[in-house]
Amino acid sequence: MVLVHDNFVKHFEPLKHGKMNNDDFSKFADKFVDDSHNLLNELEGKLLELEQDTSNQELIEAVFRAMHTLKGIGGMFGFDAISAYTHHLETIYDKIREGFLAIDKSIFEVTFASVDHLRNLLGDQDVKDPQLAARHSELTQQLENLAKSKQLYYDQIKTIENTKKTKETIQMSTWYIQFTCSEELIRRAVNITYMFQDLAKIGTYTIFKHTGKLDYEINEQDEVWGILLTSNVSYSEIEEVFMFVSDFVKIARHSNFDTNTQEAELDKKKEHLSIFELAQSAGEKLERGDALPDPAEMTNEQQILRRSSKIPRISVGADKLDKLMFLVGELFTTRSELVIASQSDNMAQVKLATEKIDRLSSQLRKNALSIRLVPLRELTLKFKRLIRDLSSQLNKNIDFEIQGDDTELDKNLVDNLADPFMHIIRNCIDHGIESPEERNAKHKPENGIIRFTAYQSGNYIYIQISDDGRGIDRDYIRTKAVEKGFVQHGTQLNDREMLDLIFMPGFSTAESLTQVSGRGVGMDVVKRAITDLRGSVEIETEKGKGTTFTIKLQQTIAIMDTLLIRSGDSYFTIILEEVEVCELENHQTFDKRQNSHVQIADDLIPYVSLRQAFSIEGTTPETERIIVIKRPNLHYAIVADSIVGQYQAVIKPLGSLLKRKEYLSGASIMGDGNIAFMLDTQKLCSKIA
Give residues in contact with other proteins (CB under 8 A). Answer: 303, 569-570, 613-616, 652-658, 660-661, 663-664, 667, 669, 673-675, 677
C-alpha Rg value of the chain to the nearest Å: 32
Query: Which segments of 391-504 are extended strands (E)?
Result: 398-403, 408-410, 448-457, 460-467
Nearer to other proteins among residue 120 and residue 349 (C-beta): 120
| Among candidate residues 268, 280, 258, the one with its CA nearest the CA of residue 3 | 258
Q: What's the closest the beta carbon of residue 674 comes to other proteins, in angstroms?
A: 6
| Among candidate residues 90, 276, 45, the one with its CA nearest the CA of residue 200 | 90
Distance from C-alpha of 584 to C-alpha of 580, rounded to nearest angstrom: 14
Distance from C-alpha of 32 to C-alpha of 125, rounded to nearest angstrom: 12
Strand order in the sheet with 579-586: 579-586, 623-631, 634-640, 603-609, 597-600
| Among candidate residues 647, 638, 645, 684, the one with its CA nearest the CA of residue 669 | 647
Contact between 499 and 539 (Cβ < 8 Å): yes
Residue 394 has φ and ψ, to the nearest 5°, of -100, 10
Q: What's the closest the beta carbon of residue 331 comes to other proteins, in angstroms?
A: 18
Distance from C-alpha of 341 to C-alpha of 349, rounded to nearest angstrom: 6
Distance from C-alpha of 298 to C-alpha of 295, rounded to nearest angstrom: 5
| Per-residue CA distances from 604 to 222, 408, 611 (Å) | 73, 41, 21
Residue 412 has φ and ψ, to the nearest 5°, of -60, -45
Distance from C-alpha of 190 to C-alpha of 184, rounded to nearest angstrom: 9
**Would the CA dihedral through 634, 635, 638, 644 be positive or negative?**
positive
Distance from C-alpha of 105 to C-alpha of 99, rounded to nearest angstrom: 16
Cβ atoms within 10 Å, residue 91: 19
- DSSP assignment of 268-288 equals HHT-S-HHHHHHHHHHHHHHT
| Residue length of the chain | 689
User: What is the 3-class SS of 218-257, one letter each residue?
Assistant: CCCCCEEEEEEEEECCCHHHHHHHCHHHHHHEEEEEEECC
Nearer to other proteins among residue 339 and residue 675 (C-beta): 675
Distance from C-alpha of 529 to C-alpha of 420, rounded to nearest angstrom: 7
Distance from C-alpha of 438 to C-alpha of 440, rounded to nearest angstrom: 5
Contact between 369 and 559 (Cβ < 8 Å): yes
Do strands 536-542 and 460-467 pair parallel, antiparallel, or not at all (unpaired)?
unpaired
Burial of residue 54, with CB atoms counted within 10 A of its CB: 0-12 exposed, 13-18 middle, 19 or more buried: middle
| Among candidate residues 416, 414, 325, the one with its CA nearest the CA of residue 363 | 325
Contact between 167 and 9 (Cβ < 8 Å): no
Distance from C-alpha of 495 to C-alpha of 427, rounded to nearest angstrom: 20
Element (H, E) at 523: helix 523-532
Element (H, E) at 177: strand 173-181
Q: What's the closest the beta carbon of residue 627 comes to other proteins, in angstroms?
A: 17
